[in-house]
Amino acid sequence: MTPAREAKGKALVAAHHDGQSALIPFLQYCQEEDGYVTPAALDDAATLTGLTRGEVESIASFYSLLFQRPIGKHVIQVCRTLACMLGGADELRAHAKARLGVTDGGTTSDGMFTYEEVECLAACDKAPCLQHNLRYHYDVTPAEFDRLLEQWKRERPDAAMPAE
Amino acid sequence: MTPFEPVLTKGLGEFDLADIDVYESRGGFSALRKALREMTPDAVVSEVSASNLRGRGGAGFPTGKKWSFLPKDGRPRYLVCNCDEAEPGTFKDRMLLEKTPLQIIEGLLISAYAIQANEIIMYIRGEFLEGFRVFKNALDAVRSRGYVGDKVAGSDFSIDILLHRGAGAYICGEETALLNSVEGKRGEPRLKPPFPANAGLYGMPTVVNNVETVAFVPHIITRGAKWFASIGPSSSPGPKIVSVSGHVQRPGNYEIPLGISIRELIDEYAGGLRPGRRVKAIQPGGGSSAAIFEEDLDTGYDYESLAAKRTMLGSGAVVVMDDTACLVRSSMTLVRFFEKESCGQCTPCREGGQWVHRLVARLEAGEGTDADLRILNTINTTITGTNLCPLGDSIMPFLSSVLKRFPDEFAAHVKLARCPLGAGSSESAA
């Protein structure tokens, strides 16, 4: 573990009830720094919390916002649940996948964009909606998606999965 | 429209209620001071009990009663706020989090005083990054004014709030799964009993309250239990924020007095349907609730009236489907949700969700058979009521209710090998 990571981990443990309670915040922090939850981060988390590596992996795998594989600089998560479906999410999903040339969960070959279909994002009044690096975009028509995509290509994104 | 002055959403579009100066100038934190200076903790519990406030997260359990279950045995106590809103169709807690975080904090502080909690844990859904940041800023401001920390507002009561950001899992909205998640574990629901009141967070007495529920507490303290109980039906009184979406002209959050008709909610608040359209099905209480139909529009929007229609108010999420909606596709969308979000502990939920999803997806794609329809009509009993938590019981209600009301629409998908409404299939579109 790097000294900086160890210091951060110890601060998180101190702020929580016990080591394990700091596990998820620690993994969120590592993910922001490394781009995803790397094998090294899982080892560090085990060292920090006293859990086995297997336990850490099991816990991390439970949560959909902890990625144990490299993801793009841009993570696009399109809602597909009922209200968004009624508002055109199926058409948006088809369009987005064709534009990006990926399937659900895939990353573009240049490593820039990861595309995921997700469940209700709690923005049902502005359907269909999506999140880009956890920021909301509302009433996303296929044309609006294309406009956003061009904008994202020009931007230097913040962390795809910020810890806080 | 039934005359009603909003409570939680008052001034929302007009003022920046996340700004502590604005919040205080409009009476913010006066309820906290009143509770701390003029009321004993038991008096606060009694007032909330007398108001008959029922939990606004989904289960509708009386809040005062939940508080009074805590054993007085000297062990540390926790108050946990559930802001893991993810029930399909629900977007009220996110609005409260982003727009009125101080109201939530004041409610939490009064609630913590009432139950004499040692710590508050605020659990915010991982996807709500913006809300998390707004809440964190608000909390910093509150701390700097002395309302959180040692000797709250100059009283003898001390309390702090720990923020926990979720990492993605619908099931963590279930209270014992949420507690496991705070403890750094997989968010799997626990076997109950023991209930959190006796063995909750770290095995200690714990109350888990929803965001909207705690936001009402300052208003009950300021205006009294009688005022709250006078709004809506006596058995389930008070205002409620209802998230309306789907095929209405003005989808959004509306704060209503419980008990108004669903017709009024849809027509007067949400702007009605598009011209020429008719109501086909309504999901009245989140993705877990059974549907109601055009003939049910005069039902009161309250806990009892919806229970009498064999459905529920749940989280207060109303999704409207007009006559253009394919109910097979709507069902498939919801069943897929529960399949994806099952934690996997209980076989009927984990396996049942997968099988039902495959079956409905097949029907939706025009590849279903009569045998599939027969299975759908009977599978309910092997899934519902056989799981640790309500998620497994949420797979079938909507599907079963629309299958019963519109059997021909399902049968037509088999007979025509396509959607009779010409909707195409979801996955061919996607």
Q: Are residues A111 and A50 in the same domain?
A: no
Q: Can you give the pLDDT at residue B429?
A: 53
- Asked if residue A160 belongs to a domain, the reply is no
- Give the N- to C-terminal CA distance of chain A in Å, as an integer: 22
Strands A135-137 and B317-322, bridge-based pairing: unpaired
- Asked if residue A162 belongs to a domain, the reply is no
Mean pLDDT of B111-125: 98
Q: How far apart are CA B367 and CA B382, in angstroms?
A: 24
Q: Can you give the pLDDT at residue B251?
A: 98
CATH number for A118: 3.40.30.10
- Asked if residue A121 belongs to a domain, the reply is yes
On chain B, the residues whose CB falls within 8 A of the CB of A163 are 165
Do residues B86 and B173 touch, judged by C-beta distance below 8 A? yes
Q: Are residues A78 and A58 in the same domain?
A: no
Do residues B247 and B321 touch, judged by C-beta distance below 8 A? yes
Do residues A83 and A127 touch, judged by C-beta distance below 8 A? yes
**Mean pLDDT across chain A:** 97
Angle at B295 between CA B290 and CA B300, to 5 degrees: 70
State yes or no: pLDDT of A162 exceeds 80: yes
Q: Are residues A88 and A143 in the same domain?
A: yes
Q: Do B330 and A82 touch (CB under 8 A)?
A: yes
How close B424 gets to chain A, by Cα (Å)?
A: 11
State yes or no: pLDDT of B337 exceeds 80: yes
Q: How far apart are CA B88 and CA B286, in angstroms?
A: 6
Least Cα distance to B170 among B290, B90, B251 occurs for: B90
Q: How many domains does chain A have?
A: 2
Q: Are residues A51 and A12 in the same domain?
A: yes
How close B429 gets to chain A, by Cα (Å)?
A: 6
Q: Are residues A102 and A58 in the same domain?
A: no
Q: What is the DSSP letter of B189?
A: P
Q: Can you give the pLDDT at residue B235?
A: 86
Percent of chain B with pLDDT over 70: 99
Strands A130-132 and A135-137, bridge-based pairing: antiparallel
Q: Do B91 and A66 touch (CB under 8 A)?
A: no
Q: Are residues A49 and A95 in the same domain?
A: no
Strands A74-79 and A130-132, bridge-based pairing: antiparallel
pTM of the prediction?
A: 0.97
Mean pLDDT of B158-179: 97
State yes or no: pLDDT of B430 exceeds 60: no
Q: Are residues A79 and A56 in the same domain?
A: no
State yes or no: pLDDT of B412 exceeds 60: yes
On chain A, the residues whose CB falls within 8 A of the CB of B130 are 134-136
Q: Are residues A96 and A44 in the same domain?
A: no
Q: Can you give the pLDDT at residue B301?
A: 97
Q: How confident is the model at residue B314 (pLDDT cuts 50, 70, 90)?
A: very high
List, for residues A60-108, the tens digit of each pLDDT value: 999 999 999 999 999 999 999 999 999 999 999 999 999 999 999 999 9
Q: Are residues A120 and A144 in the same domain?
A: yes
A94 closest CB neighbour out of B202, B287, B430: B430
On chain A, the residues whose CB falls within 8 A of the CB of B202 are 17
Q: What is the enclosing helix (H) or strand (E) of A142?
A: helix A142-154
Q: How far lies A125's CA from each of A95, B264, B274, in Å?
A: 21, 18, 15
Strands B78-83 and B119-124, bridge-based pairing: parallel
On chain A, the residues whose CB falls within 8 A of the CB of B94 are 122-123
Q: Are residues A113 and A41 in the same domain?
A: no
Percent of chain B with pLDDT over 90: 93
Of A15, A36, A62, the domain-final residue: A62
User: What three-state secondary structure class fits A79?
Assistant: strand
Query: What is the C-alpha radius of gyration for chain B, rounded to an integer number of angstroms?
Result: 22
Angle at B340 between CA B339 and CA B341, to 5 degrees: 95
CATH number for A14: 1.10.10
Q: Are residues A79 and A127 in the same domain?
A: yes
Q: How far lies A119's CA from each of B174, B192, B286, B381, in Å?
A: 16, 27, 13, 26
Least Cα distance to A26 among A49, A50, A3 occurs for: A49
**Mean pLDDT across chain B:** 96
State yes or no: pLDDT of B135 exceeds 60: yes
Q: Can you give the pLDDT at residue B426?
A: 74
Q: Do A64 and B244 touch (CB under 8 A)?
A: no
- Asked if residue A67 belongs to a domain, the reply is no
Q: Are residues A25 and A79 in the same domain?
A: no
State yes or no: pLDDT of B423 exceeds 80: no
Q: Do B91 and A124 touch (CB under 8 A)?
A: yes
On chain A, the residues whose CB falls within 8 A of the CB of B253 are 125
The two most distant CA atoms of chain A are separated, in Å, by 50
Q: How far apart are CA A79 and CA B38, in angstroms?
A: 48
Angle at B47 between CA B46 and CA B51, to 5 degrees: 115
- Asked if residue A163 belongs to a domain, the reply is no
- Which residues in B295-307 are b (16+ Cβ under 10 Å) and which e? ebbebbbbbebbe
State yes or no: pLDDT of B261 exceeds 60: yes
Q: Do B334 and A59 touch (CB under 8 A)?
A: no
State yes or no: pLDDT of B347 exceeds 60: yes
Q: How far apart are CA A38 and CA A2, in angstroms?
A: 14
Do residues A130 and A77 touch, judged by C-beta distance below 8 A? yes
- Asked if residue A15 belongs to a domain, the reply is yes
- Asked if residue A44 belongs to a domain, the reply is yes
Q: Do A119 and B243 touch (CB under 8 A)?
A: no
- Asked if residue A159 belongs to a domain, the reply is no
Q: Do A122 and B90 touch (CB under 8 A)?
A: yes
Percent of chain A with pLDDT over 70: 100
B129 closest CB neighbour out of A64, A87, A162: A162
State yes or no: pLDDT of B352 exceeds 90: yes
Q: Best mutation site among B93, B185, B326, B357 for testing chain A: the one with the most A CBs within 10 Å? A: B185
Mean pLDDT of B224-230: 97
Comparing A30 with B232, the larger pLDDT belongs to A30
State yes or no: pLDDT of B131 exceeds 70: yes
On chain A, the residues whose CB falls within 8 A of the CB of B340 are 119
List, for residues B371-390, the tens digit of each pLDDT value: 999 999 888 888 999 999 99
Mean pLDDT of B4-26: 95
Amino acid at A107: T
Mean pLDDT of B153-170: 97
H helix runs in B277-416, sequence order: 303-308, 327-341, 347-364, 370-378, 380-383, 390-393, 397-405, 407-415
CB-side neighbour CA atoms (13 Å) of A75:
25
Domain architecture of chain B: domains with CATH: 20-229 (3.40.50.11540), 239-322 (3.10.20.600), 327-429 (1.20.1440.230)
Q: Can you give the pLDDT at residue B245?
A: 98
Query: Residue A57 is part of which domain span?
Result: 3-62
